[in-house]
Structure 1
Amino acid sequence: MIRITERIALDDDEVQEEFLRASGAGGQNVNKVETAVQLRFDVRGSPNLPEGVRERLARLAGRRLTKDGVLVLSAQRFRTQERNRADALARFVALVQEAAVPPPPPRRPTRPTLGSKKRRLEGKRIRGDVKAMRGRPEGD
């Protein structure tokens, strides 16, 4: 079981891992050892995700989501397969946790109170009086 939150847990068999050779620098190690990890998770087909979390996860995934609704995460930052597996899984859990947080309710605009309007205008009047005192004296 992969524990996401207190209420959401995913089965281990819902997440598939595929190992492949990493690209980029690394010399012989990169050329012969399959250290890169490609993690796949079927967002649309998961029975353990609530509908709201599923929709937010699909939105957060962006280009990492295929047309079939499969989330694909690649990890090849480290030299070892085990560290790349842990990295991919940690990123996956963080993404699902972010999707599990419901958005805040929309802000309802309110009108300023009469007291706040008066305080604002009084402050403007005082500031205007200060600025008016900066001018030349009237007798000159």
Structure 2
Amino acid sequence: MAKKYDSIRWRQGRYRPRGANRKRKPPKPRPILDSLLAVGSVLLLALAVLTIATPFAVNLRVPVYLAYGLIMPLLAVVAIWLGPRDRNAIVVVGMIVFVWIGGATALYLARDKIKPASHYHHETKSKPETVTEDP
């Protein structure tokens, strides 16, 4: 005959025990997919930096290549500081440096053609006429 509390007694279930004896297989290397994702993310980063650098340059009245050249290395330093210390991260930081130097050089060479629109309103040249009364 079964005991009164047999139904609520703990039993090992179908799930594996957790802890140190559970080992995961390392993920399969995917070098082509990782490279494509790294190139895409660095190009997206460069576009975002250019989008940030343009209004920054207009408002501070500095050239766009200078604003881009100041923001991009800050992100490279943050990527080194916060990112993992593996081979893929070093490749990504190398691509960031390449895009930084190439982008700043391209913006410097095209500096005469870049004319960001200003949001400042010009004063009117004609002054309102003042009415004077003759005594």
Q: Normalising TM by the smaller chain, what interval?
A: under 0.3
- The structure with the greater share of residues assigned to strand is 1
Larger RCO, structure (CA 8 Å, separation 6 or more) = 2
Q: TM-score, normalised by structure 2?
A: 0.28
Scaled by the length of structure 1, the TM-score of the pair is 0.27
Q: Which of the pair has more CA radius of gyration? A: 2
